Amino acid sequence: MSAGAGGAATAENGDSMLTEIDHVAIAVHDLDAAVSWYAATFGATVAHRERVESDGVEEALLKVADSYVQLLTPTREDSPVAKYLASRGEGLHHVGYRVADCAAALQSVKDQGGKVIDQAPRPGSRGTTVAFVHPKASFGTLIELVQE
């Protein structure tokens, strides 16, 4: 990676901070049913399954090349995903972009005047470091910045 002002890639130097699609997250009511459907229909198997208590979700990751489809279901009623399902129903919930430096990518959103959900990077699933960007900052898409 080329060095920017802070040693990390910056938007100004032409190197995209977004290195890969980490995952596409789909909110579902019944995680087992969704996992079974992907297995029966596409032969896709679960590479990782995890309950993230801090977010009130359980997720199943299905590997697709170097990325994942993340099936997501709430574990409690006050989970943001529960609210999402209640208001919008099942479907695309967020896109996770892989970044080399979550803090730098988050700072870049703030520098552009964008609204963020996480003020600072925090632990995500699979031992990753993540931060969410508010959909109002990003043309209606909830973005998760994922540093492995």
Q: Which lies closer to Co ion via its Cβ, residue 9 or residue 25?
A: 25
Residue ranges that bind Co ion, judged by CB under 5 A: 25, 96, 144
Per DSSP, 28 falls in state -
Report residue 68 as tokens: 């994942």
Q: Which lies closer to Co ion via its Cβ, residue 10 or residue 38?
A: 38
- Write out 7-44 in H/E/C secondary structure: CCCCHHHCCCCEEEEEEEEEECCCHHHHHHHHHHHHCC
Q: How far apart are CA 46 and CA 39, in angstroms?
A: 9
Closest CB 116 distance from Co ion, rounded Å: 15
Report residue 81 as tokens: 């995903």
Q: Which lies closer to Co ion via its Cβ, residue 10 or residue 143?
A: 143
Q: Which lies closer to Co ion via its Cβ, residue 3 or residue 76?
A: 76
Per DSSP, 6 falls in state T
Closest CB 127 distance from Co ion, rounded Å: 14
Closest CB 14 distance from Co ion, rounded Å: 27
Length of the chain: 148
Cα 126 to chain centroid distance, Å, stands at 12
Closest CB 141 distance from Co ion, rounded Å: 12
